[in-house]
Structure 1
Amino acid sequence: MIVTVTPNPALDMTWRVDRLEPGHSHRVEAALSRAGGKGLNVARVLHQQGERVTALTTAGGAIGAELRAELDASGVPHRLIPVVADTRRSLTLVDDTAASATVLNEYGTAPTMTETAELWSAVLSAAAQASAVVISGSQPRGADPVVLTTAIAEIRALGVPVLVDTSGAALIDAAEAGATALKPNHHELAEATGATDVILGARDLLRRGPVLVLVSQAEEGMLLVHRDGRAVRARFPEIVWGNATGAGDAVSAAIAVSLADDPDLAAPDALDVLARRAAAWGAAAVAAPQAGELDPDIARRTADVIISPVSAASPVEGAS
């Protein structure tokens, strides 16, 4: 079973327009509304692909009640920790002509210390029975960063691999706390490490302890670097158009499946298999109408992925 953790959930609301014109009024169909936040999107993808998964997060106030109702209806196994503060909202405006999305994310309010302790206690309890744990998304504003790093260390002490998808200083903290894999995009990597070269940035993170760093690079595809020096790039022969919201979460789901099967990604073909699955699932998410879904043509997309070896020079010194 794979456990996903969403520290800062949201009620995702998505509107589609033929053409988004800033400063103008638009008439739109009713919004698509669903329980969201990166970890919940990961759980949806895993559930859709037939993987055993449990999603853990919080819910509070009237918006949290909507999140709970939608998640109950979704069929995704979950546990929600009640909190006092309202769950935040995330608003997405999809421009069908430009094949682009504009996203407005509320910050969210940090749960109380007692609520936070209850969430992470539930995570550790579930992790004891898990094959992999995914901690995905932002931290609520005002959250204590030590909570995340402590949780990562405690999960790893159970012998369970942990994928962390976060950004900023938390990315470095997660690497040093013992995260098995990290999934920044190239902007987040540069911000966290100061390296403009993705190989150097990935190796910087790997020196801090992870087994794998996967860097998404938009139209250039994705780069996967293993601490043993293996590295590959995955891309498509042409750009996949659509709504990119949730594509990174589909990639996280693909990583989680690989970690659950082979926590060190030690098999000779492990990186290639992961790269192909991650690229295909990410593209299928772009083509789907809403985050947390994959369009059904995954077999064709998997076959279309181009995998190329990349020189990472050598195994990363200092990696455990």
Structure 2
Amino acid sequence: MILTVTLNAALDVTYRVPALVPGATHRVTEVAERAGGKGVNVARVLHTLGDPVIATGLAGGACGTRIRSLLAAEGVREAFVQIAAESRRTVVVAELEAATGLWEPGPTVTPNEWSGFLSRFADLVRGAAVVVLSGSLPPGVPADAYLVLVEAARDAGARTVLDSSGAALRHGLTAGPDLVKPNAEELACLVGQALTRPAAAVDAVRALAARTVVASFGPEGLLARTEQGSWQAFLPHPVAGNPTGAGDACVAALAHGMLHHRPWPERLADAVALSAATVRAPVAGSVDLSDYRRLRRDVTVKEL
């Protein structure tokens, strides 16, 4: 089983418009509402792939209730811990070939609520082979939350995937997660230098405290440094659409490959194709498996 953790869950609202014009009034052609947050998106993709998955995290208020009910309606198992404050909403205004995101701040979590989550996590992780820790930390959650969760997962015999940023990522790295998935900006911040060449990025990730690093470079694809070797994976053509959730689809593919012990070139090809299929999907965080299969045939994976 894969356990995904979303400490800053969200209610995702997507407004589709022909074109976004600042300062103008828009008639929305379509509205979609989904349970969101990075780990929730990962869980949804894993469920679509047919993997056993449970989504956990923190959820509160009417938005939290809606998040849980939407997951249940999709058939995604959830074990969120209730908090008093209202979970956030994220709004995406999607055009034909672009998207604008508006992220609300997260709810404030009390020390007792955080302690309650740690107890719930200790119960859930005993049944997990892989734990995915994704996204930002809401106010009140300690900056070393991912360090604590990586260590707890390791003690329970589970492998870990970490996808975060800033202080949360830096603290989590000190625990030595099995895989970390920064994007180009996050990786540059971690190593303190601009990364304009794949070779420089490969050298940079060697210093990170993780067994495996898979860095995403948007349309340029993925760069992976693993114990078995280093690879670059990419599509030869750009994919237009809404990039919201593409990184989460990438993480889902990597967790899927970890669960099933797939060879690294296959994991990376899956990750690139699933990410691209998510970009092309009309609703943030969704994926069309037939589109994924078509795109996967075009993915190039080369060893570095």
1:294 to 279, 287, 299: 287
- Could you tell me how far 1:246 is from its partner in structure 2? 0.4
Q: Is the Cα–Cα contact under 8 Å of residues 110 and 140 in structure 2 kept in the other structure?
A: no
- Could you tell me how far 1:124 is from its partner in structure 2? 2.4
Residue aligning to 2:142: 144
- Could you tell me how far 1:201 is from its partner in structure 2? 5.1
Q: Is the Cα–Cα contact under 8 Å of residues 176 and 211 in structure 2 kept in the other structure?
A: no
Q: Does 1:83 align with 2:77?
A: no
1:260-300 deviation digits (Å, cap 9, x = unpaired): 233xxxx7xx2211111101111111111123321222222
Residue aligning to 2:13: 13
Q: How does 1:112-191 map to 2 (within 5 A)?
A: 112-191=110-189
**Structure 1 length-normalised TM:** 0.89
Residue aligning to 1:23: 23
Q: Is the Cα–Cα contact under 8 Å of residues 15 and 92 in structure 2 kept in the other structure?
A: yes
Alpha-carbon distance in 2 for matches of 1:153, 1:201: 27
Alpha-carbon distance in 2 for matches of 1:153, 1:63: 30
Alpha-carbon distance in 1 for matches of 2:207, 2:123: 30
CA gap 1:293/1:159 in 2 versus in 1, 3 angstroms: same
Q: Is the Cα–Cα contact under 8 Å of residues 172 and 205 in structure 1 kept in the other structure?
A: no
Q: Is the Cα–Cα contact under 8 Å of residues 34 and 67 in structure 1 kept in the other structure?
A: yes
1:223-274 deviation digits (Å, cap 9, x = unpaired): 111145x111111110011111000000000110122233xxxx7xx22111
Q: Partner letter of residue 79 of structure 1?
A: A
Gaps of 5+ in 1: 311-320
Residue aligning to 2:250: 251
Gaps of 5+ in 2: none
Alpha-carbon distance in 1 for matches of 2:284, 2:237: 22
Residue aligning to 1:57: 57
Q: Partner letter of residue 84 of structure 1?
A: A
- Could you tell me how far 1:142 is from its partner in structure 2? 3.8
Alpha-carbon distance in 2 for matches of 1:142, 1:112: 6
- Could you tell me how far 1:206 is from its partner in structure 2? 4.3
**Structure 2 length-normalised TM:** 0.94
CA gap 1:107/1:201 in 2 versus in 1, 3 angstroms: farther
1:305 to 287, 299, 302: 299
- Could you tell me how far 1:156 is from its partner in structure 2? 1.2
Q: Secondary structure at the match of 1:57?
A: strand
Alpha-carbon distance in 1 for matches of 2:199, 2:148: 28
- Could you tell me how far 1:172 is from its partner in structure 2? 2.2
Alpha-carbon distance in 2 for matches of 1:178, 1:171: 11
Q: Secondary structure at the match of 2:225?
A: strand
Aligned residues: 301
- Could you tell me how far 1:65 is from its partner in structure 2? 2.1
Moved over 4 A (4+): 198-206
Q: Does 1:282 align with 2:281?
A: no
Alpha-carbon distance in 1 for matches of 2:225, 2:108: 33
Alpha-carbon distance in 1 for matches of 2:275, 2:42: 11
Q: Secondary structure at the match of 1:110?
A: coil
Q: How does 1:264-275 map to 2 (within 5 A)?
A: 270-275=263-268
Alpha-carbon distance in 1 for matches of 2:126, 2:69: 28
Alpha-carbon distance in 2 for matches of 1:208, 1:247: 23
1:15-44 deviation digits (Å, cap 9, x = unpaired): 011111111110113521111000000000
With 67-76 and 39-48 compared, the bigger mean Cα shift is at 67-76
1:139-177 deviation digits (Å, cap 9, x = unpaired): 113421123211111111222110010011222222211
Residue aligning to 2:216: 216
- Could you tell me how far 1:64 is from its partner in structure 2? 1.7
Q: Is the Cα–Cα contact under 8 Å of residues 175 and 205 in structure 1 kept in the other structure?
A: no
Alpha-carbon distance in 2 for matches of 1:166, 1:203: 21
Q: Is the Cα–Cα contact under 8 Å of residues 7 and 137 in structure 1 kept in the other structure?
A: yes
Alpha-carbon distance in 1 for matches of 2:63, 2:292: 33
Residue aligning to 2:93: 93
Alpha-carbon distance in 1 for matches of 2:30, 2:222: 35
Alpha-carbon distance in 2 for matches of 1:104, 1:169: 22
Alpha-carbon distance in 2 for matches of 1:204, 1:221: 17
- Could you tell me how far 1:210 is from its partner in structure 2? 1.3
